Amino acid sequence: MHIHHPHRTLARLLSGAAPLCATLAVLLGAATARAQATEAATPAEAAKPAVDEAAIAAGEKVAEEGRDAYRAGRYADAIPLFEKAFALTTKPAYLYNIARAKEKLAEYDGAIKYLEKYLDAYKAQNAGADPQNAADVKNLMRDFKQRAFEALPEVTINSVPPGAQVYLGATDGLLAEGGTEKGALIGSTPVTTHMKPGTYQMTVQLTNHVDHRAELQVPQSGKLNLAIAMKIKQTRSGIAIWSNVKGAQVAVDGKVVAVTPYNGVLPMQPGAHQVTLTRVGYNTADQQVTLSEDKLTTVRLNLTPSHGPPASWRSFTGWPLIILGGLAIGGGYVAKTFADKEYAGSPLFLQREKLQNYGYYSGGAAVGLGLGLIIWDWTRSGMNSEDLVPGTSFDDGVEEKPLPPPESTP
């Protein structure tokens, strides 16, 4: 007879469940580890698309075809192959290859564009770091810019006379970069430069000449040579001269042009000029003036003697008076000395006191008169009246007023 023991049955059930619990524990641990690994991944890694091995393989194959075309000199065929390879693999090196192919085709602007794309793509894929050949790439870009400039049509502009400033601007009326309403200054004639084909508004300017304005047509290729004859600007300005002395030579910019008194008008080109008046026995006078167009500039200069006036009767009279006056003052002092030895109020005292006062008063008057005559002689102007220009005198100065019409000019 079989007897059922409940505790033995429970033990058998528990021993059979043990392997199942262990399996569940292993599975739970693996799931937890995967979850932790997923949580530890960076957002960039989580968002990174899966690598398409097939696309990369196809891109490499197309890139090899592009390299074969480049080596064979078929640069135009190599460019679309490298573009397709980059689209499949996003490898920046293929952008660099496109730039070199465009260089071979003399498409320098396009080559610069793809070198910039190469640097940007590499930085984007490498946390902003530059490629190892970044310095070489930048040097290459500068070289391409220079070669692109030199590949443009050559334009040479000459003027007669030379030295004119050449401005170029667009014909749409907009200001050129770094320029004015005349356009951007490209240099002074003769000037040679390279320009993109098209139409430009050209302004050529030269001092004292009429501005030359014209449209400049730059061809697609080749060289363009221009020769411009500048027209002299018919301008009018003049100088009138006044001086207080006759016979003074008037020089303008070092050239003698008149002698005072001069009542006419000296025709001159507008601008800065140096006016100089000279005469023997007088100090030189000069004046810097700037003449304006259609203006008459009057220059007034007073000459002064270069040496003092000769001695006159004033000095010849003044010095003896000073000497005599000094002797008289000395005599008065002697009389005073003797008077002090006498009794005050005595006849001899009064006589000597009178001599003292006479010496002091007469001597002082003579000295004063003599000094006055000498000072008068020293302060004379020394101007010879025969040298003076008759009429109204003026202070030094410059006056500007409208220039009279040619027919009324003296």
Confidence of residue 294 (pLDDT cuts 50, 70, 90): confident
Confidence of residue 191 (pLDDT cuts 50, 70, 90): very high
Give the residue-averaged pLDDT of 30-38.
39
Give the residue-averaged pLDDT of 113-130.
94
Q: State the architecture of 152-229 in CATH terms.
A: Sandwich (2.60)
Confidence of residue 133 (pLDDT cuts 50, 70, 90): very high
How far, in Å, CA of 388 to CA of 246, rounded? 6
Residue 262 pLDDT greater than 80, yes or no: yes
From 242-246, 285-289, 382-386, 387-391, the region with the lowest mean pLDDT: 382-386
User: For residue 226, what are the β-bridge partners?
Assistant: 157
pLDDT, greater one: 349 or 210: 210
Residue 119 pLDDT greater than 90, yes or no: yes
CATH superfamily of 53-150: Tetratricopeptide repeat domain (1.25.40.10)
From 38-52, 72-86, 231-245, the region with the lowest mean pLDDT: 38-52
237-307+395-402 folds as Immunoglobulin-like (2.60.40)
pLDDT averaged over the chain?
Answer: 79
pLDDT of residue 392: 79
pLDDT of residue 330: 85
Residue 43 pLDDT greater than 50, yes or no: no
Q: pLDDT tens-digit profile of 377-405? A: 656 555 667 778 888 778 888 988 888 77
Cα angle for residues 347, 351, 354 (degrees, 5° grid):
140
Listed by start position, the domains of the chain span 53-150, 152-229, 237-307+395-402, 313-378
Tokens of 267: 């025709």
Give the residue-averaged pLDDT of 337-355.
78
Whether 152-229 and 237-307+395-402 share one fold: the answer is yes
pLDDT, greater one: 78 or 174: 78
pLDDT, greater one: 95 or 311: 95
For residues 166 and 201, the answer to whether their CB atoms sit within 8 Å is no
pLDDT of residue 357: 84
pLDDT of residue 221: 83
Percentage of the chain modeled with pLDDT above 90: 32
Percentage of the chain modeled with pLDDT above 70: 79
Confidence of residue 38 (pLDDT cuts 50, 70, 90): very low
* Closest-CA residue to 317 (of 263, 376, 357): 376
Compute the CA torsion angle 63, 67, 68, 72 (nearest 10 deg). Answer: 150
Give the residue-averaged pLDDT of 70-94.
93
Q: pLDDT tens-digit profile of 208-238? A: 888 899 888 888 888 889 999 998 877 678 8
Give the residue-averaged pLDDT of 117-140.
93
